[in-house]
């Protein structure tokens, strides 16, 4: 593989979708047809290149996002295959943060499913241009146009249909290219590596002409030049349509839609062409902005190798006992043996090795530049979400946001030998996964592991045993609640003590009052500087915020509370930051214990897909679990029931649903918000 390729020929893309829509299968075909792998790996056989972890191969799902690079024609495509399961949403979030484009894969039978919506919204949040691939057109019940209608309704997308299927279900044999008005039929004998391009058969000609006109209209609505030619009935070249569609896709005005069946090896080559034609190179998207950590001024990081270095660590992984950092380089370049500066920690890091990644395999390279995604070994102190730059031109890129965990289990090492490795292994997992949290319960001394769902924690515990040979006993899953207060309450506290030979004095009076759900915690001061000097106010805020981290009921974080500093006093020379931090913490804890506190449950958005015959039983069961039914709509020959249900009531639901529906019901759930159940 050529080492240097022009930056405008690079495409950084992610494959995103709901679980089981066929993301990994699409990626495997891309690797095969681009010559990156010489055998098609199947997910159901546990042989997919991108699902390399034993847990992924056993379960047939993607757990961790894998990076690979391949060539198509004269372009280099860097791909991140992301998980579809809601428990691993952070993997999608941090991948989309560093990608320039995305391919949304939709199942033609399932349509736009709940996790598809989640990942699509995540892509919208980071302004990532997208193309859609409607997969599984060979399956019974496949509905190409129904899926497009769902894209409009659920995703508020503006699809530009570039292909329509030839045949459907088991008779699906190819696609009609509406830009070039040709029919493409795949050869089953060559595993889809060859296909014939021919004139459109008569039975599809009328439909093809209709959808070609619709495509031109769709593009004309967002492009003035095409609109002008369209209204004056002037001929419009295919290249003009491609150029206008590329521009509209990059501006997030349109979503090109293609179709096929990845498992049957149909539709992948045109998808690769569409990735190159319509998704942006690093130079097509606006330069990422950062701030100078010393002056606070905004800096634009131009995607050029001769600009100062600006790179983001979006993921950390432990491979063969070594820390591997996945880095997206926005500007400048990195050279093996060189230095990089981490402005968050004010430390220089050594770039021991730079690796071009291919799932869990890697290829050493000497240097790399703007627009690339690489693995770096040698970064001792830097972690996920931190910036690498040069000390001469410091820049701090926007931090990444991480989700709060909603479910916990108690874990303890089985033997003394396991105990020795236990803390070290947990620290390694936390450096890899920012949604994983570990704490020690003060009352029981137990180690509490918190994550995004039952499957998330199950995989972590499986990996502890498999990768690090650490056996643990696991308690029952526990819900991670929040606490809040029902009414306003006031309290005072005085700290007047000698500590380490110095006398400290601080007096604080504060009022806590409840805020609307989702407001977070707030602090404001209403005291005059003669009562408490202004330089001590931050210490008071710190004491209050620290004490809100553990509530009076069960030690869960307290949320949606406003703390107002209403009074207090100080003594010259005796009043210190320590005194006011402690007295504020004491006053806050006193107020919380006097307030009417109550628990907030994590509420989950649940969608159950169930045959009509079982609907009554399923709704009755959801009501018994304190669920609120929000809508019931027909979907693909079944009924889709949407409900919000407390997480505590959802343990073991998959077994209950299977029993109630003779194994025919399926459900998905994702965290929505905290509320009183």
Q: Residues 204-241: pLDDT tens digits? A: 999 999 999 999 999 999 999 999 998 988 888 999 99
Percent of the chain with pLDDT over 90: 33
Q: 630 vs 361, which has greater pLDDT?
A: 630
The candidate with the shortest Cα–Cα distance to 134, out of 230, 248, 2, 255, is 255
Q: What is the mean pLDDT of residues 132-137?
A: 94
Q: What is the pTM of this model?
A: 0.69
Q: What is the mean pLDDT of residues 432-442?
A: 78
Q: 530 vs 252, which has greater pLDDT?
A: 252
Report the range of poorest mean pLDDT among 98-102, 425-429, 431-435, 461-465: 431-435
pLDDT score, position 221: 93
* Pairing status of strand 310-319 against strand 322-331: antiparallel
Q: 37 vs 411, which has greater pLDDT?
A: 411
For residue 370, is pLDDT > 80? Answer: yes
Order across the sheet with 195-198: list the strands: 163-166, 174-177, 182-186, 195-198
Confidence of residue 52 (pLDDT cuts 50, 70, 90): very low
Q: Residues 413-434: pLDDT tens digits? A: 888 877 878 888 888 788 777 7
Gap between the Cα atoms of 580 and 504, Å rounded: 9
Report the range of poorest mean pLDDT among 88-92, 117-121, 232-236, 474-478: 88-92
pLDDT score, position 47: 47
Percent of the chain with pLDDT over 70: 91
pLDDT score, position 608: 87
Mean pLDDT of the chain: 84
For residue 1, is pLDDT > 50? Answer: no
Q: What letter does residue 346 receive in the DSSP assignment?
A: T
Q: What letter does residue 261 receive in the DSSP assignment?
A: B
Gap between the Cα atoms of 493 and 53, Å rounded: 54
Q: 50 vs 370, which has greater pLDDT?
A: 370
For residue 56, is pLDDT > 70? Answer: no
For residue 44, is pLDDT > 60? Answer: no
pLDDT score, position 323: 79
pLDDT score, position 217: 93
Q: Residues 475-520: pLDDT tens digits? A: 877 778 899 999 999 999 999 888 878 888 999 999 999 999 888 8
Q: What is the mean pLDDT of residues 122-147?
A: 90
In this structure, are residues 403 and 434 in contact, taking their beta carbons and an 8 Å threshold?
A: no
Q: What is the mean pLDDT of residues 129-156?
A: 91
Confidence of residue 83 (pLDDT cuts 50, 70, 90): low
Bridge partners of residue 646, in order along the sequence? 603
Gap between the Cα atoms of 625 and 602, Å rounded: 14
Q: Provide φ and ψ at 101, rounded to 5°.
A: -155, 165
Gap between the Cα atoms of 152 and 147, Å rounded: 9
Q: 383 vs 299, which has greater pLDDT?
A: 299
Q: 343 vs 360, which has greater pLDDT?
A: 343
Report the range of poorest mean pLDDT among 105-119, 276-290, 662-676: 662-676
DSSP secondary structure of 460-526: HHHHHHHHH---EEE---EE--EEEESS-EEEEEEEEEEETTEEEEEEEEEEEEE--TT---EEEE-
Q: Residues 158-211: pLDDT tens digits? A: 999 999 999 888 888 999 999 999 999 988 776 777 888 999 989 999 999 999
Q: Which two tokens stand for residue 338?
A: 């060189």
Give, to the nearest 10 degrees, the angle between helix 653-660 and helix 615-624. 150
């Amino acid at each position: 593989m050529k080492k240097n390729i022009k930056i405008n020929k690079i495409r950084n893309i992610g494959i995103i979708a709901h679980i089981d829509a066929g993301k990994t299968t699409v990626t495997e075909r891309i690797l095969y047809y681009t010559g990156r792998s010489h055998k098609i790996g199947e997910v159901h056989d546990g042989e997919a290149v991108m699902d390399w972890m034993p847990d992924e191969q056993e379960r047939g799902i993607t757990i961790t996002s894998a990076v690979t690079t391949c060539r198509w024609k004269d372009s280099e495509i860097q791909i991140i295959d992301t998980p579809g399961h809601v428990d691993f949403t952070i993997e999608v979030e941090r991948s989309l943060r560093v990608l320039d484009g995305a391919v949304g894969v939709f199942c033609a039978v399932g349509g736009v499913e709940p996790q598809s919506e989640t990942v699509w919204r995540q892509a919208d949040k980071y302004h990532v241009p997208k193309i859609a691939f409607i997969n599984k057109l060979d399956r019974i019940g496949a509905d190409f146009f129904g899926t497009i209608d769902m894209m409009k309704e659920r995703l508020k997308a503006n699809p530009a249909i570039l292909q329509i299927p030839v045949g459907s279900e088991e008779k699906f044999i190819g696609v009609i290219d509406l830009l070039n008005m040709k029919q493409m039929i795949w050869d089953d004998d060559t595993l889809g590596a060859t296909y014939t391009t021919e004139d459109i058969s008569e039975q599809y000609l009328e439909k093809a002409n209709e959808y070609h006109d619709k495509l031109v209209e769709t593009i004309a609505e967002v492009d003035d030049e095409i609109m002008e030619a369209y209204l004056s009935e002037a001929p419009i070249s295919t290249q003009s349509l491609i150029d206008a569609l590329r521009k509209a896709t990059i501006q997030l005005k349109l979503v090109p839609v293609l179709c096929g069946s990845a498992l049957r090896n149909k539709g992948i080559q045109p998808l690769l062409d569409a990735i190159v034609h319509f998704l942006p190179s690093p130079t097509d998207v606006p330069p990422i902005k950062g701030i100078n950590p010393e002056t606070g001024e905004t800096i634009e990081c131009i995607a050029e190798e001769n600009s100062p270095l600006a790179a983001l660590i979006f993921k950390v992984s432990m491979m063969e006992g070594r820390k591997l950092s996945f880095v997206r380089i926005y500007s400048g370049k990195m050279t093996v043996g060189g230095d990089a500066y981490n402005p968050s920690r004010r430390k220089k890091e050594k770039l021991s090795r730079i690796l071009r990644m291919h799932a869990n395999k890697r290829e050493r390279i000497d240097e790399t530049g703007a627009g690339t995604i690489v693995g770096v070994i040698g970064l001792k102190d830097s972690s996920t979400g931190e910036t690498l730059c040069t000390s001469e031109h410091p820049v701090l890129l926007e931090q990444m946001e991480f989700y709060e965990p909603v479910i916990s289990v108690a874990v303890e090492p089985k033997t003394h030998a396991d105990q020795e490795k236990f803390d070290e292994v947990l620290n390694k997992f936390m450096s890899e996964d920012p949604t994983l949290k570990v704490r020690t319960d003060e009352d029981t001394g137990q180690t509490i592991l918190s994550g995004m769902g039952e499957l998330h924690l199950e995989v972590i515990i499986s990996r502890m045993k498999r990768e690090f040979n650490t056996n643990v006993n696991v308690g029952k899953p526990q819900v991670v609640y929040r606490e809040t207060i029902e009414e306003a309450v006031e309290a005072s506290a005085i700290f007047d003590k000698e500590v380490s030979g110095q006398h400290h004095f601080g007096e604080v009076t504060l009022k806590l009052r409840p805020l609307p759900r989702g407001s977070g915690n707030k602090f404001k001061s209403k005291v005059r500087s003669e009562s408490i000097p202004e330089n001590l106010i931050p210490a008071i805020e710190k004491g209050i915020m620290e004490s809100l981290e553990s509530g009076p009921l069960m030690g869960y974080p307290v949320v949606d509370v406003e703390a107002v500093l209403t009074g207090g006093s100080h003594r010259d020379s005796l009043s210190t930051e320590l005194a006011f931090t402690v007295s504020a913490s004491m006053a806050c804890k006193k107020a919380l214990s006097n307030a009417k506190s109550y628990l907030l449950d994590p509420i989950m958005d649940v969608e159950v897909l169930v045959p009509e015959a079982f609907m009554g039983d399923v709704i009755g069961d959801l009501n018994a679990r304190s669920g609120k039914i929000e809508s019931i709509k027909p979907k693909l020959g079944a009924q889709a029931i949407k409900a919000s249900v407390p997480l505590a009531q959802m343990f073991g639901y998959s077994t209950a649903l299977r029993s109630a529906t003779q194994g025919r019901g399926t459900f998905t759930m994702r965290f929505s918000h905290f509320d009183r159940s």
